[in-house]
A and B are shown apart, each in its own frame.
Chain A
């Protein structure tokens, strides 16, 4: 294989109106969403940078996730090995705050791939931002792609779909892996306003995560690796 996935992580982001003060390790533990060791680990950070809980902001971390809640945004980010327990945690938290007005959910997956030879590494950038397009504009200077973002939505340019959901794929050089490529997928879902009037928006948001997160994981891997395979040639075996 000419590339291997070296790093993989996920985050769940919710946009809405939150009360950061309630999001404490104790609260998660009391509601059985994290165990006592994880809660203790989060509390232990009280004298270091990461543990803050106030009316405006809550942030703390355990060995396997970081939680950050602002008044207008909730963010859960994975650490160490990503597992579906991460999804369960996001679902569980939003179910607990079921009355919170949440307007959108973002399911994010991030991957760093090592490209095994330098020529192939440069070929990725050259394929996505062809040199013949840019180099003539800057004769005698080096031109390199910094980042590319593609947005995918239902419908066509002439007839956009009704759904306001979209997926945003980003490719850029990896700042973590030498000769590496970083990919991210932001799978954005709007919480239906009309449905939110009838049902609890937090529960709707939790249902979005429950029904989409695993598929988005699979999509992220398929797209990232298909893109690389298209540029670098077919591979023996892909990750999942």
Chain B
């Protein structure tokens, strides 16, 4: 972790390569970022399209800054999802290198399916998470930039470890669950 003065950050950002429509970042603009909750991701201009973009109805236009702004971030969305499934691992065969899973579609009303996946589709960093009951997200998407292509991603769900407070709450809830249980009468032998 490099220690940076705020002034140095500002200087570096001000000399950033032209990214299109964003004003140069200054420290004052960093602090002036409004305290709203709106998206801080600015749409980025594709260099070839810059001249055509401006406003609806305009013949040709100068490039105008987008409405949403955060000068510190200069990346852009480049994908659109086609379908996403929440997968749940049913079984894992490490020897033969595959897992079986149910697939529950998130973006449409298609019914649940099952399928087998080679573990080569699981990233190395996720291999520790592969076990029966584990959840992953399988996304089929279209990437528009740098070139148009179909792609997919399989990413396992991660949640933080259980905290002491959560474990205490679990114990409290368990006691409440048990309190409600009653014995029903038994038939005579």
Contacts and interface: CB of A to CB of B under 8 A. Distances in A.
Is there direct touching of A and B in the complex, by C-beta distance under 8 Å?
yes
A74 B66 CA distance: 21
Contacts of A124: 56
A13 to B, nearest CB: 4
Interface size for chain A: under 10, 10 to 19, 20 to 34, or 35 or more residues? 35 or more
A7 B80 contact: yes
Interface string B59-76: 101011011101011011
Contacts of A15: 35-37
Interface of B: 1-4, 6, 9, 12-13, 16, 20-21, 30, 33, 35-41, 43-46, 49-50, 52-59, 61, 63-64, 66-68, 70, 72-73, 75-81, 84, 86, 106-108, 123-126, 137, 139, 141-144, 151, 153, 155-161, 163, 165
Given A49-B12, A168-B38, A184-B38, 11 more contacts: A7-B77, A13-B37, A32-B158, A34-B158, A95-B160, A96-B160, A126-B57, A176-B44, A177-B49, A184-B68, A186-B36
A70 to B, nearest CB: 7
B21 to A, nearest CB: 6
A162 interface: no
Interface string A134-155: 0000000011111101000000
A37 to B, nearest CB: 4
Identify which of B13, B68, B143, B156 gathers the most chain A CB atoms within 10 Å of its CB. B68
B68 A59 contact: no
A182 B68 CA distance: 11
Contacts, number: 233
A83 B87 CA distance: 12
Interface of A: 5-9, 11, 13-15, 24, 31-38, 46, 49, 51-54, 56-57, 59, 61, 64, 66, 68, 70, 72-73, 75, 77-85, 88-89, 91-92, 95-96, 98, 104-112, 121-122, 124-126, 128-129, 131, 142-147, 149, 168, 170, 172-179, 182, 184, 186, 188-189, 214, 239-240
B40 to A, nearest CB: 5
A95 B23 CA distance: 35
Contacts of B45: 175-176
A24 B3 CA distance: 13
A32 B161 contact: yes
A83 B37 contact: no
B37 A108 contact: yes
B57 A131 contact: yes
Contact of A92 (B1, B142, B160): B160
B124 A37 contact: yes
B39 A13 contact: yes
Contacts of B160: 31-33, 92, 95-96
Nearest to B41: A77
Given A52-B4, A121-B56, A106 B38 contact: yes
Nearest to B34: A73
